Chains A and B, each alone.
Chain A
């Protein structure tokens, strides 16, 4: 399988075409904007936190297939989880897309393992991470929008003319 085939697996393309939880949520109690200023991608993430759990989550926005599929897969993965469980999934996701997760652990990632192909494309890690940084901030606090340039641990890609 070529690197691009590994990146654009069927599950990624399918979530890009039909993203899950792609809707506004008027009764959300956490709303956060995520932006990647270098490429112009942006999304809004809505959460309903009940006690300590994510009882509902949704998003809308525009971006590439990787950012949209990653956001879609994320909402499916963390819905119904507690804050601590969601943070733990975030931590594992981050190791997966930055190539720091041993192959043996990939199977336990469920559908999210399809995002493993991103690790071969350092410039695209930021795309895959946008929604996750927004989630992390939403769980952390009720305010502050997210920018990949402030939140992301990855080096920014060059902008140029």
Chain B
């Protein structure tokens, strides 16, 4: 089943708009917006606090949202699903709270050259702060993790291996099962950045077995400002909290405090209930479409766009073949700078991303200053591919 454009108020009200930047953020279906509005108009109170029915209802909504999202991504122990502001905050939580407690001088941190800055800079900063070594796995010419090198980089001094499930810049789907097995065999913990996987692939986080798995709500039809960190119970219980304050404590003495149980230990302050409710509605919506169908739909459009773009002279598409990518087509057109391309496409109501995609280390490795990136999601169709191709042809006319 594919999504109806009419389900998305922004797209329904802009019939000529070709939104091809869902890897940056997705549009929102009415069901998500309605769920959030319903929460604020019927159930809003501060959860976990009030001794009155309304607060109890808010608490219920919040917990139901957590259960729904946990079931959708394959997490049985929903108390191990922590709400954050998004993938960036989830990864900073791990690098800071777990990292400072577990990584020391001369320990090693393994990441890859394929990372988004959100899964690169926190580890770089941790390494610099504690005197650990940051080891960066190479990327092959076709935009994959060099798995042979990864195998040699992970060793007895490796405390943590952090890598994305799917690359935001190229759409590469990484062999995460194999990478997790390699890291675990060396005794390292695994942090997986799932920001580009959770929206696009059927996901079973428990089966995958990463120690931490992070994703964002806003890239999967949910609201901005709400994301998730899933952790293994033993790891979460052993590590210190990230932020301290209300809700996350058990008992506060004058000179020390004890922590609340999971997930509250990692959710200091008033939680973002409405956005959690919205994200749960997004999971319900995706569940109805069926994630296998979502994947198949994106694969069809990605293959079609890749084929039609490559038929245009001077177009280069980066990353592995379409079958091994999510719904991302990262490309360049001869000497036309991607920003100029994006401006020309914009006049034809085609929205694409142009630039380094928050992945400067990757762009250096591929020796590219920038690429244009079109990314597909449930509401896109062949008409969007037609518009993209027409826009690229128009850009070639302008630039002669």
A residues with CB within 8 A of B: 2-5, 7-8, 13, 38-41, 62-66, 121, 123-124, 127, 159-161
Is A160 in contact with B353, judged by CB distance below 8 angstroms? yes
Shortest beta-carbon distance from B363 to chain A in Å: 7
Instruction: Compute how far the CA of A40 lies from the CA of B354 in the bound complex, rounded to whole angstroms.
Output: 10
* Residues of A with C-beta under 8 A to B400: 13
Determine if B355 and A40 form an interchain contact, defined as CB atoms under 8 angstroms apart.
yes
Q: Which of B337-375 touch A at CB < 8 Å?
A: 337-340, 343-344, 347, 353-358, 360, 363, 369-370
A65 to B30, CA, bound (A): 40
Q: Chain B: how many interface residues by the 8 Å CB criterion?
A: 30
The B365-391 residues at the A interface (CB cut-off 8 A) are 369-370
Is B347 a contact of A161 with CB atoms below 8 Å? no
Q: A40 and B358: CB pair below 8 A?
A: no
Can you spell out 7 A-B residue pairs with CB atoms less than 8 angstroms apart?
Answer: A4-B347, A8-B399, A39-B354, A41-B339, A160-B21, A160-B24, A161-B195
- Taking the closest CB of chain B, its distance from the CB of A96, in whole angstroms, is 18
Please name all residues of chain B whose beta carbon is closer than 8 Å to the beta carbon of A5 when the two chains form the complex: 398
Also in contact, A4 and B355, with CB within 8 A (given A13-B399, A40-B360, A62-B369):
no
Most chain B beta carbons < 10 A, residue from A13, A41, A65, A121: A65
Verify A39–B25 contact, CB threshold 8 A.
no
User: Is B343's CB under 8 angstroms from A7's CB?
Assistant: yes
Q: Judge whether B219 is part of the interface by a CB distance below 8 angstroms.
A: yes
Which residues of B sit under 8 angstroms from A40, Cβ to Cβ? 355-356, 360, 363, 369-370
Please judge, given known A-B contacts A40-B369, A160-B25, whether A64 and B363 are in contact too, CB under 8 Å.
Answer: no
Chain A residues whose C-beta falls within 8 Å of the C-beta of B21 in the assembled complex = 160
B168 touches A38 (CB 8 A): no
Query: Pick the contact of B339 from A3, A13, A39 — CB < 8 Å?
Result: A39
Asked if residues A64 and B219 are in contact (CB atoms below 8 Å), the reply is no
Q: B343 touching A124 by the CB < 8 A rule? A: yes
B369 engages A2 (CB within 8 Å): no
Provided the pairs A4-B343, A127-B339 are in contact, do residues A161 and B219 lie with their beta carbons within 8 angstroms? yes
Please give the distance in Å from A35's CB to the nearest CB on chain B. Answer: 12
Q: Are B356 and A39 in contact (CB under 8 A)?
A: yes
Instruction: Please name the residue on chain A nearest to B357 by beta carbon.
Output: A161
A114 to B254, CA, bound (A): 68
Q: How far is the CA of A78 from the CA of B399 in the complex (A)?
A: 27
Contacts of A64 in B (CB 8 A): 337-340
Cα distance, A43 to B363, chains bound together (Å): 17
Known: A40-B370, A160-B24. A63 touches B357 (CB 8 A): no
Which residue of B24, B25, B340, B356 is within 8 Å of A65 (Cβ)? B340
Which residue of chain B is the closest to A39 with respect to CB atoms? Answer: B355
Q: Is B116 an interface residue (CB 8 A)?
A: yes
Min CB gap B2→A, angstroms: 24
Return A148 CB to nearest CB of chain B, in Å.
13
Q: Bound complex: CA of A137 vs CA of B383, how far in Å? A: 47
Q: A160-B358, A161-B23, A161-B24 are in contact. Are A63 and B344 (CB under 8 A)?
A: no
A4 and B23 within 8 A (CB): no
Q: Are A63 and B337 in contact (CB under 8 A)?
A: yes
Chain B residues closer than 8 Å to A13, beta-carbon distance: 398-400
Closest 8 CB pairs of A and B: A160-B24, A64-B337, A64-B339, A40-B356, A4-B347, A39-B355, A65-B340, A64-B340
User: B23 contacts which chain A residues (CB < 8 A)?
Assistant: 161
How far is B196's CA from A7's CA once the two chains are assembled, in angstroms? 34
In the complex, which residue of chain A has the Cβ closest to the Cβ of B356? A40
Please name 11 further chain A to chain B contacts, defined as beta carbons within 8 Å, in addition to the given A2-B347, A4-B343, A63-B337, sorted by A numbering: A4-B344, A8-B344, A39-B356, A39-B370, A40-B369, A65-B337, A65-B399, A124-B339, A127-B339, A160-B25, A161-B195
